[in-house]
Each structure stands twice: as structure tokens, then as C-alpha cells.
A and B are shown apart, each in its own frame.
Chain A
Amino acid sequence: MDLMVEATPRRVFANAHTYHINSISVNSDYETYMSADDLRINLWNFEITNQSFNIVDIKPANMEELTEVITAAEFHPHHCNTFVYSSSKGTIRLCDMRASALCDRHTKFFEEPEDPSNRSFFSEIISSISDVKFSHSGRYIMTRDYLTVKVWDLNMENRPIETYQVHDYLRSKLCSLYENECIFDKFECVWNGSDSVIMTGSYNNFFRMFDRNTKRDVTLEASRENSKPRAILNPRKVCVGGKRRKDEISVDSLDFSKKILHTAWHPSENIIAVAATNNLYIFQDKVN
């Protein structure tokens, strides 16, 4: 007998978006949620399917002036009136819905000053934020851009408090990655339950974890060849130059079609889900 898994919608909310939707975020009041597209963010009530409120609109009156789009948005985990949204220029805006109905003005504006030594024609593209996530505590936000993951303190707008290099060896290959379109890949990032570890994906079916306390990091691979059920994952390493050790992989051998864009971490346990192309991997702490 063939088993079919079929998903059917429980509720359909009327079309309120002209542009591609990039984010959905459920509010802590469990009564409302928001949906964000490239230029607008709408607020919905779960019980009302044919109407939504527009809370952010960055579409310029003259579309000729469009230079920035919304890339991700999320509600604060505890304060149901607060949310953040990120942009293609690497900025994050924190908004308070109590301030006004249309959140044109942000309460806070997070942006890191540009590093002049790293400036190139690709600077803006790699600064575009692909994901923004509040910590479980609500005190920090984490952003993912093309090469790094950054942790921001809500009380400090002028720079992140932590920056983690996901795959800095790609910095010298940006032109090629622009040519083959990989530079537009949008990676997600996640916190673990205690906000002590952050995780994000990379290429070659690699994903990376960073321990914020010990400052240690690890690269792991999600692939059928390298993992049988119950096997322990071996750390992987990318060799950036010089002599390549036995189980290292060189940058030029990386498979850029195998990208891990989506990952998730169980809210309280050390169980993670990793999506590698069309395979879903679930890993957990080794049980003794």
C-alpha cells in the first residue's frame, strides 16, 4: 500500500501581498501574526482571514528610488508590540506598534559601520541580511549575512556584540559566487534553547555551530554517505591554502549546489533539524 502524506490548509488568509513573502512570525499573544514581503509587513488576526493591517510600508512613492528591501521580520518573544525587520542593506529596525499604527519610524536602528579595508563592489550584497532571530531571552537578536552571523544587544545599536565567520574563505571568491548566483543564497540561523549556541548552514552540506561562551566552533556535514543512524558526526574542516590534511576539503572542491539554507533547533532539547537539498536530517546529542 502506498502511503500518501497530504497537507491541506486549515485556514486561508486573503491575498495582501504584492511582492514575495519572506517571513511569517507568530506573536507572543498567540492572537496575531505578521507576514512580511519585500516592501511591506502586514499584521493579521488568526480569526480574521479577509483583512490585515499594514504596519510597515517602505515602498517609495517613486519606484525609481527603490534601493532597499525588507528581507526578514520577527516578533519579540515576550513583548507583543515589538518586532524587528532586516533589510538588504544590512540594517535592522526595531519597531513598537504602540508608537503609531503605521510603523514608519523605528524605535531602534541597528547598523554596523562599514569596514573600509574590506570594501568591494560586493560589500552591499554580502551585507544583505538573510535572516533575523530574537534570542529566547529577548535580549539579543542574531542576524545572518552572506559570510557571517552577528549577535546584537538590543541596547547597542551601533555595532554587534559578537561576529562569527561562517565561511570567510569565500571572501576571495565573491566574484565567482556573484557570477554563479550563489552570493544571493539566503541562509537561516538559529539559537539553541539556552541562547548559548548558534547554528547556521553553509555549502557542501556543511553546517556550523558556534558556542558563544567557550568561543569554540564546529563544522559538521549532513550527508548520507558520511552518517549512518546513531553514528557520531565527525567535525569537518575546510583547508584554505597550503597543505591539505587527510580529511580536510579544499575550498575549490566544495559543492556549491549542496547548500544548507534551513536549520532548526528544538526549543529546549539538544535536537536539531537540518535540511540538505531534499533530505531532512535530525541530529541529537549522543545518548550513552
Chain B
Amino acid sequence: MFARGLKRKCVGHEEDVEGALAGLKTMSSYSLQRQSLLDMSLVKLQLCHMLVEPNLCRSVLIANTVRQIQEEMTQDGTWRAVAPQAAGRAPLDRLVSTEILCRAAWEQEGARPAPGLGDGHTQGPVSDLCPVTSAQAPRHPQSSVWEMDGPRENRGSFHKSLDQIFETLETKNPSCMEELFSDVDSPYYDLDTVLTGMMGGTRPGPCEGLEGLAPATPGPSSSCKSDLGELDHVVEILVET
């Protein structure tokens, strides 16, 4: 992309081209896909408390996936390489943006997970947080996500957000989930909408070209309502026989 049509004016430019190409190599297609998957997973973890029923199994599986990606990225050294030059400033921006994301989600009682949540999310990958949190040496990244109690001041804002999310996983107050949403019948569609909105159109997502697999109907709620009449009919038949 950089090499085509570039006129070589002097030696300095040539070096720039090589540098740019080298930068491109590190962000290969696989890395991009992996990064997108990581971002998607982190969003899923943050939104898990907004689902009808917080699901511990699902959260564990997603967290394990995130951990796996992080480990692989640590091994091939791309973990820290992703952070931009101004390492001090940029991760802090992303820390703030993630916290805004979570706070906005919790405080909007009665609000749906709207694409507007994406407004607080900066362009850069959320994973840039992790160089900050992994600086807390003994802690494995994202190790504290399941903890339900205890002070959390030592951890980065990222952990704090996840901790507060997972507080809802113990079924203490299932009714508070219902308070947040009036219509809870179509979580899949909403999550898909949010994810699509969050990832934006600028970057190809890992599932590009496979959008046809999204559920064909807008959500189970509409079909459920139309079938209620049929259900009554079926029940009548059962009882009569």
C-alpha cells in the first residue's frame, strides 16, 4: 500500500518506506483479526451484566479466550508493541474511555445497549490497557475479574470495571436485571447491533463476509408473540383429549 506509486526522492524517503513496511508486517491480517477478537471479547465481558441472566459459564469461557489471546500476544511480543509512541499518555486515554463505557452502561437504567455507547470508545484497541495493568507484576492480566468482594483500589480502572460487572453474576437480585430493560427477549440482536456499532466500519472485523449468519429474524420476541395464539390452541387440544 505504501510501496506502490511512491517516488523515491532521496535516501531518507527510502528508509521511511522500509519503516512503514516493517510496521505493516507486524499488523498482519492474523494480528488484526486477533486484535478484533480481543476487542470483541472485552466488550462482551463488559456487557455481560446487561444480559437477561448473567451467565457465569459464558463469562468464564470468554475470559479464558481473552487470556489465551493475551498470552499469545505476550509470547510474540506484540503485546507491548501495540502501544503507540506516547506510551504514557495514550493508555491513560484508553483507561478513561473504558471506564466511561462501563459507567455509561450502569448509569443508564432502563436504557438499551445502544450504539451510542460506542461514542466513548476511542479508536485504539482496548488492549492497550494491559501494559498498564500487567505492570502490577504478580497479577496475571484479568486475574481478578471473578472477585466479588474486597477493596479494589490497587487495580487499574480496567479491573475495577470488570469486578463490578461480575458482582452481578451471583444470583442475589435477578429482578434488578429486569429493571434495566423493558423488553428482554432479544439479547442476541442487541449485542450484535452494539458490537457492529462498536467495531465501526473503518476496520474489517474478524467475521467480515460472514454477516449473513446473523439471525434472520429481528429477534425471538416478535415470533413468540405471534405464536401465543397458537399455543393457546395447542393447550386446548391437549386438555380436551
Contact = CB atoms under 8 A, between A and B. Distances in A.
A115 interface: no
A19 B40 contact: no
B198 to A, nearest CB: 11
A20 B213 contact: no
23 contacts: A18-B170, A18-B171, A19-B171, A20-B55, A20-B171, A38-B56, A63-B148, A64-B140, A64-B143, A64-B145, A64-B146, A65-B143, A66-B146, A69-B57, A121-B34, A173-B213, A176-B211, A176-B213, A177-B213, A180-B192, A255-B216, A257-B219, A280-B234
A252 B224 CA distance: 23
A124 B220 contact: no
Interface residues of A, number: 41
A181 B187 contact: yes
Q: Which of A65, A69, A181 has the most CB of B within 10 A?
A: A181
Contacts of B143: 64-65
Nearest to B65: A121
Interface of B: 34, 37, 40, 53, 55-58, 60-61, 63-65, 68-69, 140, 143-148, 169-171, 187-188, 191-192, 195, 205-207, 210-217, 219-220, 223-224, 227, 230-231, 234-236, 238-240
A128 B144 CA distance: 23
A88 interface: yes
A271 to B, nearest CB: 15
A177 B212 CA distance: 11
Nearest to A183: B61
Contacts of B58: 184
Interface string A211-226: 0000000000000000
B188 A125 contact: no
Given A64-B144, A124-B61, A277 B55 contact: no
Contacts of B215: 180, 255-257
Nearest to A125: B61
B53 A176 contact: no
A176 B61 contact: no
B188 A178 contact: no
Given A71-B57, A88-B57, A175-B210, A124 B239 contact: no
A179 interface: yes
A3 interface: yes
Contacts of A256: 213-216
A126 to B, nearest CB: 10
Contacts of B235: 3, 5
Nearest to A186: B57
A176 B36 CA distance: 12
Nearest to A38: B56
Interface in A57-76: 62-69, 71
A128 to B, nearest CB: 6
A125 B236 CA distance: 41
Contacts of A66: 60, 146
Between B53, B169, B205, B210, the greatest number of chain A beta carbons within 10 A of the residue's beta carbon is seen for B210
Given A19-B171, A181-B191, A279-B227, A67 B210 contact: no
| Residue among A5, A125, A176 with most chain B CB within 10 A | A176
A181 to B, nearest CB: 5
Contact of A88 (B37, B60, B207): B60
A68 B220 CA distance: 30
